Structure 1
Amino acid sequence: MGNTTKIADLTGPGRTDAFGVGGTDLGVVATAPDGRLVAVFGDSFEEATVGGPGWRSPVVLFADPDTVAEGLRWTGSGGDENAYARQLIEYPKSALLRRPRCSTMLPTDLITLGDTMFLHVMACRGLGNVLWTEILASTDNGVTWSSTGARWPGDVCGGLFQMLTWAAADDGYVYAYTTGFRRDAGLLLHRVPAESLADPEAWQPWGFADERWAWGNPPTLTLPGAFGELCLRRVPGPDGQRNWLLVFFDAGNYRIDALLLDAPNADLHRAPRTTVLEGTSWSGEDHATGRVAQLYGGYVVPGSTLSDLHLVVSQWNTATNWPYHAMQFRTDLAGL
């Protein structure tokens, strides 16, 4: 963890207020088909706080991929590419049409497959209460979005198919780790053919039954714990090989950890593991050495390598509602 340092604040005054974003969090990032970086943020407000005018979620900001080293530089916003970052999709905020009221829709992960970007979101009634999850899609490099129709009830898999991360493999499948939004449970693993990503019936759980692990068995915890935000990516190592890396907020131990996997369905108990950032008190913060108060998130920035890994990390002072922002940290995991 001693190799982890802060690069920059990514959101807040002087960074994103030109887009009507004062306070925001999350910030999962993927590369659009046109080469831009697309970052999707959660609950966003016009002022540098939680609450007030301009509450919407999710929102998109675009970044120049050449600015990763010094901190992502924002070049535009989603919705209609005007300066004001608009909410990507309308969703029911009332009980009309026999649909439950949704107070916010939070992004969990983003993936690009061919010319289409897919975004997994949680429809919530307040924090921690997930009504359903669904997949949105964009065919114009993240500018506008629509629902694919793929939707799962919030209680599917015992509520452990809410917080999701995914990555595509060379075998034609997309692999996805999931957990609950309440940060009090372990991990499940599913896979789905890439061309069937938006077909809930095509998703297969990884589970243990009849004394063996296999696809199609009832979903089984791959790692117990109390986890939050997840990020599964394939990251080049020193030899150029793309490694499977799972970064996650370990809420139970108040830190952000990383696991290096030899396959997407590796034994997580035996996978090399390290702590990237440690949670601390506000008086104990030291961003230069990787100690961050009220931290969460931990999303890999495209272009990262194991020896030059960049992460988007959120921070929310729940007592004062500021800071409520996203930051960029860099670390070296080449020795993992």
Structure 2
Amino acid sequence: MRRGEVRNLGPIAGTGARKGIPGIGAADLGEIVQLPSGSYVAVFGDAFGGSKVGTHPHYPSVAVPVTFDDAGCPHFDAPLTGPSGSSNPLFVPPRRARGMNTLPAGSFQVDGKTYMLVVGTNQLRPEGGSWLVEVTDDPSKGWKPVARSWRPARYAKGGQSQISGYQSRDGKVYIVADSFDRTRRVTLYQADPHTCSDRSAWRPFVRLRDGSTGWGTPRQQAVPISDTNFGELSFREVDGAAVLSGFNVRNGPDGAVEIWVSESPTEIFSTGVMTVVMQQSDPDAANFVPQNYGGYILPGSTLELLNVFGSQWNTLVGAPYNTQHMIANVKPRR
């Protein structure tokens, strides 16, 4: 692929997928996380038995086993967790989020442990707050909240109900954050591997007294590093570079999925190179996908072949509602 080239391999799950997920005809998001055993599951958000939103049964979130063929294409097996009202939901909510829709809101991996943020939503608003879960080898038993990790929607001035991060070669953990309802700009945190599940210990990237930017102290207010509000986020280290995939609310008439590549996590927007993998402005372009969102980086990606799950939801009629497999060459020119 040429530098900057983007290809859409089509729906991989949900409406229009050739194989998809057994028993699920409509699905979105699909962040792939690694279990302690080394195997992978894809965590989808709201999923439905039929081919459109609103069909029965409804899964507020669902864990699906995933494997990869020699070409790097994912293949899904039967869901490991049950729909609403079943005895084995994926996320067991804390008391203050009971009765809310529990949805995945990003992940990071540290020293072989994977943590996911979960958000309790009402009409996609994070009214039930958010909390961390530690990923286990048996999703069917439910992933329970990490003790004392719940935070109200207003925490960090409403800007930490959606996250993503990675452990860098320097050993530190770098985490980006915004709001699940797409009303905040992106902020950045640094965490120590030993205390990364304690959100009050994260060090924010702040404006210092001399006007420069740098790492502050825990509980300080982080300074936005993006110029615009974002939605879904996926922050990973790929080929030694910081790579951010995310939904930019202000790109085009109704947002776009962008990939940003930089040598440093703190410079992801200031010096990063951007590639648009899904957009809604030019219907003749290969990356045109109406009502797109998401953008989750898949394991095994390289800068020359970045694999991304993007989503589409026709909100007017409820379909298509799916996850699409995008590939892109995002390697910057030196």
TM-score in terms of structure 2 length = 0.86
Question: Partners in 1 of 2:108 and 2:81 — Cα distance?
Answer: 18
Q: Any residues of structure 2 matched to 1:271-282 within 5 Å, and which?
A: 271-280=272-281
Q: Which amino acid aligns with 2:271?
A: R
Cα distance, 1:112–1:79 mapped onto 2, change above 3 Å: farther
Q: Is 2:46–2:61's contact at 8 Å kept on the other side of the alignment? A: yes
- Paired residues of 2:27 and 2:47 also in contact (CA < 8 A): yes
Shift of 1:285: 6.8
Structure 2's unaligned 5+ residue stretches are none
* 2 and 223 in structure 1: CA distance in 2 versus 1, 3 angstrom threshold: closer
- Equivalent pair of 2:35/2:136 in contact (CA under 8 Å): no
- 1:25-73 residue CA offsets vs partner (Å, 9 max, x unmatched): 111123333332321110111111111322222211121133553x311
| 2:307 counterpart of 1:306 | no
What does residue range 1-336 of structure 1 map to in structure 2 within 5 Å?
A: 3-12=5-14, 14-18=18-22, 20-66=23-69, 69=72, 71-79=73-81, 87-91=89-93, 99=96, 101-140=98-137, 142=139, 144=141, 145-149=143-147, 150-211=149-210, 212-215=212-215, 216=217, 217-236=220-239, 242-253=240-251, 254-266=255-267, 268-280=269-281, 284=283, 289-335=286-332
- Matched position secondary structure for 2:69: helix
Residues 141 and 115 of structure 1, relative CA distance in 2, 3 Å threshold: farther
Question: Per-residue displacement from partner, 1:111-169 (whole Å, max 9, x unpaired)?
Answer: 33345321111111221243211111123265542211211111112111112111111
Counterpart of 1:27 in structure 2: which amino acid?
G
Question: For the structure 1 residues 183 and 100, does the alpha-carbon distance in structure 2 shift closer, same or farther, using more than 3 Å as the test?
Answer: closer
Deviation at 1:106, TM superposition (A): 1.3
Q: Using the alignment, how far apart are the partners of 2:87 and 2:278 within structure 1?
A: 29
After alignment, is 302-311 or 259-268 more displaced?
Answer: 259-268
Displacement after TM superposition at 1:178 (Å): 0.8
Report SS of the residue matched to 2:200.
helix
CA gap 1:218/1:17 in 2 versus in 1, 3 angstroms? closer
Q: Where does structure 1 lack aligned partners over 5 or more consecutive residues? A: 237-241
Q: Do the aligned partners of 1:40 and 1:58 also contact (CA within 8 Å) in 2?
A: yes
Aligned Cα RMSD in Å?
2.5
The alpha carbon displacement at 1:267 in A equals: 5.9
Percent identity between matched residues is 24
CA-CA distance at 1:246 after TM superposition? 0.8
* 1:233-288 CA-partner distances (Å, limit 9, x unpaired): 1112xxxxx2111111111112111211222222622322232221248xx376xx
SS in 2 for 1:40: strand
TM-score where L is the length of structure 1: 0.86
Structure 1: how far apart are the matches of 2:268 and 2:238? 19
Amino acid at match of 2:171: G
- Classify 1:296/1:262 alpha carbon distance in 2 versus 1 (closer, same or farther; 3 Å): same
What secondary structure sits across from 1:11 in the alignment? strand
